[in-house]
């Protein structure tokens, strides 16, 4: 069914801390992304460094991080630094889960392209990725 597509499929790396059990949302998002034609790698990480490594190996276009128990600012800060070191800071990084509104400006400053907090729909995240990666 993908034959008629000219462009390669968008590849998304979704990851969540292996100490955070709340994976209902991210797993739903992964399934919706697959249904919308994206390629999805769903991973669990210990240190955020693991995400940077997988992003490099998998050559993902998008990195999506899910946080439900906090710690997102420090993790995003470190991830962006690592991506830069590896020369792959062109990735679209998005964040979702339980993200307080007050933290959004800080995340934006950290070059997080989109923040999809509680109440966001999977479709919003998918449309955002599609429009952000579209050449136009």
Partner 1 sequence: MFDEKTKNQEQKLKTGFDAQMKKRYGDRDFNLKTDGGIPINPVYSPGDIEDLDFAHIGFPGQYPYTRGIYPTMYQAQPWVMQQIHGHGTPEHCRERMDYLAKLGLTGYGEMRSYNLVFDQVCKFGYDPDNPEAGDMVGLVGVNMSNLDDYDRLLHGLDLAKTSVVLNQGIHSMIALAYYIVYGEQRGVPKEKLRGNTMNWLYKGWMSDLEMYPPNSAFMIMSNFIRWCSRNMPQWNTTNLVSYFAEEAGGTPVQEAGMAMAVGVALTKACIAAGCQPDEFLPRFGFQIALGMDIFEHVAKIRAMRRMWATINRERFGAKDSHSLQLRCHSQTSAVSLTAQQPFVNIIRSAYGALVGVLSGVNGMTINAYDEALGIPTDESLMLAIRTHQVALYETGVPNVTDPLAGSYYVEWLTEKIYREAWAYMEKIEELGGFQKCWETGWLREELANSAYQWRRRIDNGEKVVVGLNKLRSDVHRKTEIYKVDPEVKAICIRRIKEYRAKRGMEKERRQALDNLKTACEGVLDNHKADFMPALIECARSHSTVQEMCDVMKEVFGWGTVY
Stretch that binds partner 1, among 57-65, 82-90, 119-127, 128-136 (CB under 8 A): 119-127
48 binds partner 1, rule: CB under 8 A: yes
Select from 126, 136, 90, 129 the least CA-distant residue to 111: 90
- Of 54, 89, 104, 117, the one binding partner 1 (CB under 8 A) is 117
Sites for partner 1 among residues 7-46 (CB under 8 A): 17-21, 23-24, 27-28, 31, 44, 46
Is residue 130 a contact residue for partner 1 (CB under 8 A)?
no
74 binds partner 1 (CB under 8 A): yes
Q: Does residue 90 interact with partner 1 by CB under 8 A?
A: no
Closest separation between CB of residue 93 and partner 1, Å?
18
Biggest CA pair distance of the chain: 44
Query: Which residue in 88, 1, 78, 87 sits closest to 47, CA to CA?
Result: 78
Helix, strand counts (H, E) of the chain: 5, 5
CB within 8 Å of 101: residues ≥ 6 apart:
117
Residue 118 C-beta: closest distance to partner 1, Å = 3
Q: What are phi and psi of 27, to 5 degrees?
A: -70, -35
CB nearer to partner 1: pick between 61 and 82? 82
For residue 98, count CB atoms less than 10 angstroms from its CB and return exposed for 0-12, middle for 13-18, buried for 19 or more. Answer: middle
Site for partner 1, rule CB under 8 A:
17-21, 23-24, 27-28, 31, 44, 46-48, 69-71, 74-75, 98, 100, 102, 117-119, 121-123
């Amino acid at each position: 069914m993908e034959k008629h597509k000219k462009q390669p499929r968008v590849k998304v790396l979704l990851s969540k801390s292996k100490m955070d059990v709340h994976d209902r949302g991210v797993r739903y998002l992964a399934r919706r992304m697959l249904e919308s034609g994206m390629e999805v790698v769903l991973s669990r990480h210990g240190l955020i460094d693991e995400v940077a490594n997988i992003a490099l190996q998998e050559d993902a276009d998008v990195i999506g991080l899910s946080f439900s128990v906090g710690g997102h600012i420090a993790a995003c800060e470190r991830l962006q630094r690592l991506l830069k070191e590896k020369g792959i800071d062109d990735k679209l990084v998005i964040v979702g889960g339980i993200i307080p509104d007050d933290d959004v400006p800080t995340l934006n400053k950290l070059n997080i392209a989109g923040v999809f907090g509680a109440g966001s729909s999977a479709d919003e995240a998918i449309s955002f990725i599609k429009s952000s990666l579209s050449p136009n």
